[in-house]
């Protein structure tokens, strides 16, 4: 085993430990700060998982909010309306029920990912973007018309199970999973598909399957992020998972530098905090936000957090 | 080893290959020469499954492989070294080579192949940890060939190895091609614009024009054909 593997696993453990400590102290933190911090964590999950699809595998998905919605609704129904039926399975214990609901939400989102991916991943570039965009809209409209989950009003009174531990624990696991996946010998295939699909195919890679794996894994974590989001905000409605939400996540990936692990995390933090800080500008908030984005793209089109040189030997012993 | 029977390929309404038949025997180097847009690359792409032919069939080692997806063919020892090099620019040289052995699970075999490619192209050994996008054209071509060899092919489809490369390196690459054929018994279907060079290393040749095979025969015969001399070998 190369030593980096152990090091990264160690890092994962350390992160989880720190999150655990932070959680035990969180009672003393201001609740606003706490909710912003959790928003940051959820965005890290969303951005990192989208980075697998848009950054590393070179596809262009605009449907991430759709997968998030699927996970959010599934988890919310499981901890809400269906809780009486299935929480006895877990002895009524929230610390078992909640992660189970999140994971089921992730799985349903992954299935949705497979469903969309199967017919559309043969498409490339703009065409894939359009299909995933359409998918996001379809999901939104479906939830708007499902009376079972509140229609356009959405679901309210979702228990606030999300806390620092769940959010950042999941974020750490997401980042680690994406990282470990890409640094395996299997994972080089994702980068190869992004670099040159024809050459990858000529090497014997099943490129469609690679894109599918990226899509399904990405959708899975987006679904979990959706579940965390629902149990943080206590209410969800279909319009919260619209095109704008997808774009928000895409912007994080682009700003962080497509296919950079750390850059995308930093971008997720920056953009989440920025939108909060701009709140005092009231109605002008989104105007300022947009202007900032335009300025950033004009000055740093390659991504905000790209280091000038990329060490070629980075994955040499992978 | 490899045989095309009356292959027709179309891009939409445009016919790129019309009724092409050709044969590559075991241990042979066969070259396909022709001008720009004659259908050389299309032929290779159809063989390796990157394009679906409209009609006709492709036979490899006694099996009909028409329309079979590329990843299955690589597993059967048919490797394609695509035109314009197409290395994975954001992977290192070593990673590119390992990508070539993507279907090989046995680490020892991979190491052995790596050692072989290194001995064939010592230049690649020096550049192993460098990103492939930073190599020179000739080095990228060596990498593309080395990468194709990593899958331990019995039959290699080689597309324009001399394209955009310094003459000196072209010479080296062609020497290596003959060496591979002689030492390993690798059967090679070579597509080349530089007809002089291609004919010098090949056993047999086909001349393709506007998607049709114009003539074929032993390389020396094709070389002395007046029509070919006029059109492809710079007259005289």
Q: Answer whether A188 sits within 8 Å of B98, measured CB to CB.
A: yes
> How much is the pLDDT for B55?
92
Mutation target vs A (from B91, B94, B149; most A CBs, 10 A cutoff): B91
Say if CB A303 and CB A266 are below 8 A apart.
no
Q: Which residue in chain B is spatially nearest to A183 when comparing CA positions?
A: B95
Q: Which of residues 83-142 of B touch A (CB under 8 A)?
A: 86-92, 94-95, 98-100, 102-103, 128-131, 134
Say if CB B126 and CB B118 are below 8 A apart.
no
**Distance of residue A183 Cα from the nearest chain B Cα, in angstroms:** 11
**Distance of residue B49 Cα from the nearest chain A Cα, in angstroms:** 9
> How much is the pLDDT for B173?
87
pLDDT band at A315 (very low <50, low <70, confident <90, very high): very low
Q: What is the mean pLDDT of residues A52-79?
A: 93
Q: Which residue in chain A is spatially nearest to B83 when comparing CA positions?
A: A199
Looking at residue B129, the DSSP 8-state letter turns out to be T
- Name the nearest CA neighbour of A213 among A113, A112, A67: A113
Query: For residues B60 and B178, what is the distance between their CA atoms, to the nearest angstrom?
Result: 22
Say if CB B9 and CB B202 are below 8 A apart.
no
**Distance of residue B151 Cα from the nearest chain A Cα, in angstroms:** 8
Measured from the Cβ of residue B142, the count of other Cβ atoms closer than 10 Å reads 28
Contacts of B111 in chain A (CB under 8 A): none
Contacts of B82 in chain A (CB under 8 A): 198-199, 202
> What rounded mean pLDDT belongs to chain A?
86
> How much is the pLDDT for B230?
81
Mutation target vs B (from A189, A202, A258, A314; most B CBs, 10 A cutoff): A202
Report whether pLDDT(B86) > 70. yes
B76 close contact with A: CB closer than 8 A: no
User: What percentage of chain B reaches a pLDDT higher than 70?
Assistant: 98
Q: Is B216 helix (H, G, I), strand (E, B) or coil?
A: strand
Q: Answer whether B70 sits within 8 Å of A201, measured CB to CB.
A: yes
Report whether pLDDT(A4) > 70. no
Say if CB B52 and CB B70 are below 8 A apart.
no
Report whether pLDDT(A87) > 80. no
> How much is the pLDDT for A311?
44
First-to-last CA distance in chain B? Answer: 36
Q: What is the mean pLDDT of residues A4-15?
A: 74
User: What percentage of chain A reaches a pLDDT higher than 90?
Assistant: 39
Q: Which residue in chain B is spatially nearest to A189 when comparing CA positions?
A: B99
Report whether pLDDT(A312) > 50. no
Mutation target vs A (from B68, B75, B86, B143; most A CBs, 10 A cutoff): B86
User: What percentage of chain A reaches a pLDDT higher than 70?
Assistant: 94
Contacts of A285 (CB under 8 A, 6+ apart): A275, A278, A279
Report whether pLDDT(A125) > 80. no
The pair of three-digit structure tokens given for residue A22, joined into one six-digit string: 């932070």
Strand B55-60 and strand B63-64: pairing?
Answer: antiparallel
Q: Edge-to-edge strand order for the sheet containing B78-81?
A: B78-81, B155-159, B187-192, B29-33, B204-209, B212-218
Say if CB B19 and CB B6 are below 8 A apart.
yes
> Cα dihedral angle (B188, B194, B200, B203), rounded to 10 degrees?
30
Find where tokens 């018994």 sit: B185
Q: Answer whether B99 sits within 8 Å of A192, measured CB to CB.
A: yes
**Distance of residue B57 Cα from the nearest chain A Cα, in angstroms:** 20
Among A311-315, B121-125, B156-160, whose mean pLDDT is lowest?
A: A311-315
- Name the nearest CA neighbour of B151 among B195, B109, B207: B109
Among A89-98, A143-152, B143-152, whose mean pLDDT is lowest?
A: A89-98
The pair of three-digit structure tokens given for residue B213, joined into one six-digit string: 């095979």
> How much is the pLDDT for B127?
92
pLDDT band at A68 (very low <50, low <70, confident <90, very high): very high
Please compute, for residue A296, the number of CA atoms within 13 A of its CA located in the half-sphere on the CB side: 19
| All structural domains of chain A with their residue ranges | 34-242
Q: What is the mean pLDDT of residues A57-66?
A: 91
Query: For residues A224 and B148, what is the distance between their CA atoms, to the nearest angstrom?
Result: 41
B25: left (phi over 0), alpha (psi -120 to 50) or beta: beta
CA distances from B236 to B119, B202, B223, B233 (A): 39, 21, 12, 8
> How much is the pLDDT for A3?
52
Q: Answer whether A185 sits within 8 Å of B88, measured CB to CB.
A: no
Say if residue B35 is exposed, middle or buried (CB neighbours under 10 Å; 0-12, 13-18, 19+).
middle
pLDDT (tens digit per residue) in A128-171: 889 999 999 999 999 999 988 888 888 988 998 988 889 999 99
Contacts of A199 in chain B (CB under 8 A): 82, 86-88
pLDDT band at A237 (very low <50, low <70, confident <90, very high): very high
Q: Answer whether B75 sits within 8 Å of A204, measured CB to CB.
A: yes
| All structural domains of chain B with their residue ranges | 1-35+49-77+155-162+188-236
Report whether pLDDT(A313) > 70. no
- For residue A41, give the H/E element and its range: helix A31-50
> How much is the pLDDT for A316?
38
Q: Which member of A191, A312, A318 has the closest CB to residue B88?
A: A191
Query: For residues A127 and A129, what is the distance between their CA atoms, to the nearest angstrom?
Result: 5
Find where tokens 């279909």 sit: A238
pLDDT (tens digit per residue) in B87-144: 898 889 999 999 888 888 888 889 999 999 999 899 899 999 999 989 988 889 889 9
Say if CB B218 and CB B25 are below 8 A apart.
no
Say if CB A256 and CB A303 are below 8 A apart.
yes
Please compute, for residue B154, the number of CA atoms within 13 A of its CA located in the half-sphere on the CB side: 11
Q: Which member of A189, A192, A203 has the closest CB to residue B74?
A: A203
Q: What is the mean pLDDT of residues B66-93?
A: 86
> What rounded mean pLDDT belongs to chain B?
89
Say if CB A272 and CB A283 are below 8 A apart.
no
Q: Which residue in chain B is spatially nearest to A205 when comparing CA positions?
A: B71
**Distance of residue B106 Cα from the nearest chain A Cα, in angstroms:** 13
Say if CB B54 and CB B227 are below 8 A apart.
no
**Distance of residue B234 Cα from the nearest chain A Cα, in angstroms:** 33
Say if CB B16 and CB B1 are below 8 A apart.
no
Among A14-23, A163-172, B150-159, whose mean pLDDT is lowest?
A: A14-23
Say if CB A47 and CB A265 are below 8 A apart.
yes
> How much is the pLDDT for B9?
92
Query: For residues A165 and A174, what is the distance between their CA atoms, to the nearest angstrom?
Result: 14
Q: Answer whether B70 sits within 8 Å of A204, measured CB to CB.
A: yes
Measured from the Cβ of residue A207, the count of other Cβ atoms closer than 10 Å reads 21
Interface of A with B (CB under 8 A): 185, 188-189, 191-192, 194-196, 198-206, 310, 312-313, 315-316, 318
Q: What is the mean pLDDT of residues A105-126?
A: 88
Report whether pLDDT(B25) > 90. yes
**Distance of residue B146 Cα from the nearest chain A Cα, in angstroms:** 12
Q: Is A53 helix (H, G, I), strand (E, B) or coil?
A: helix
Q: Answer whether A316 sits within 8 Å of B129, measured CB to CB.
A: yes
Going A212 to A213 to A214 to A215, the CA torsion angle's sign is: positive
Q: What is the mean pLDDT of residues A182-195?
A: 86
For every residue of A59-123, DSSP letters joined together read -----HHHHHHHHHHHHHHHHTTTHHHHGGGGTT-HHHHHHHHHHHHHHHHHHHHHHHHHHHTTS
Q: Which fold has domain B1-35+49-77+155-162+188-236?
A: Rossmann fold (3.40.50)
């Amino acid at each position: 085993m190369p030593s980096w593997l152990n090091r990264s696993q160690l890092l994962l453990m350390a992160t989880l430990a720190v999150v655990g400590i932070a959680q035990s102290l969180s009672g003393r933190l201001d609740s606003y700060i706490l909710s912003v911090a959790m928003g940051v964590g959820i965005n890290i999950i969303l951005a990192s998982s989208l980075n697998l699809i848009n950054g590393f595998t070179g596809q262009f998905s605009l449907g991430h909010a759709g997968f998030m919605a699927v996970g959010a609704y599934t988890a919310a129904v499981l901890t809400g309306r269906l809780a009486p039926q299935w929480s006895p399975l877990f002895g009524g214990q929230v610390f078992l029920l909640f992660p189970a609901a999140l994971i089921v939400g992730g799985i349903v989102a992954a299935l949705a990912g497979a469903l969309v991916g199967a017919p559309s991943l043969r498409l490339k570039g703009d065409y894939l973007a359009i299909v995933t965009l359409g998918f996001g809209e379809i999901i939104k409209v479906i939830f708007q018309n499902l009376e079972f989950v509140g229609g356009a009003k959405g679901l309210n009174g979702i228990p606030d199970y999300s806390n620092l531990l769940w959010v950042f624990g999941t974020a750490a696991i997401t980042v680690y999973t994406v990282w470990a996946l890409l640094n395996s010998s299997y994972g080089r295939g994702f980068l190869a598909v992004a670099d040159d699909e024809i050459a990858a195919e000529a090497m014997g890679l099943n490129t469609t399957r690679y894109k599918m794996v990226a899509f399904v894994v990405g959708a899975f974590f987006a679904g979990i992020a959706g579940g965390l989001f629902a149990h943080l905000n206590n209410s969800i409605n279909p319009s919260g998972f619209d095109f704008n939400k997808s774009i928000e996540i895409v912007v994080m990936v682009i700003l962080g530098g497509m296919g950079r692990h750390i850059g995308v995390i930093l971008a997720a933090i920056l953009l989440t905090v920025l939108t909060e800080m701009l709140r005092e500008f009231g109605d002008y908030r989104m105007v300022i936000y947009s202007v900032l984005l335009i300025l950033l793209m004009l000055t740093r089109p390659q991504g905000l957090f790209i280091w000038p040189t990329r060490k070629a030997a980075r994955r040499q012993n992978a | 080893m490899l045989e095309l029977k009356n292959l027709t390929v179309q891009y939409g309404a445009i016919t790129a290959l019309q009724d092409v038949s050709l044969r590559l025997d075991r241990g042979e180097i066969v070259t396909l020469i022709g001008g720009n847009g004659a259908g050389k690359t299309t032929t290779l792409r159809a063989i390796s499954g990157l394009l679906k032919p409209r009609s006709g069939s492709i036979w490899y080692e006694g099996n009909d492989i028409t329309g079979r997806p590329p990843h299955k063919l690589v597993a059967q020892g048919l490797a394609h070294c695509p035109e314009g090099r197409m290395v994975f620019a954001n992977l290192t040289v070593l990673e590119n080579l390992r990508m070539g052995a993507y279907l090989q699970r046995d680490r020892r075999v991979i190491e052995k192949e790596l050692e072989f490619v290194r001995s064939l192209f010592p230049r690649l050994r020096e550049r192993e940890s460098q990103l492939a996008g930073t190599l020179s054209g000739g080095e990228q071509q060596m990498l593309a060939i080395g990468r194709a060899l990593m899958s331990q092919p019995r039959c290699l489809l080689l597309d324009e190895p001399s394209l955009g490369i310094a003459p000196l390196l072209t010479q080296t690459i062609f020497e290596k091609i003959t060496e591979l054929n002689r030492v390993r018994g690798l059967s090679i279907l070579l597509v080349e614009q530089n007809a002089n060079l291609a004919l010098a290393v090949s056993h047999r040749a086909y001349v393709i024009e506007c998607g049709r095979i114009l003539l074929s025969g032993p390389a020396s015969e094709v070389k002395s054909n007046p029509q070919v001399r006029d059109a492809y070998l710079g007259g005289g």
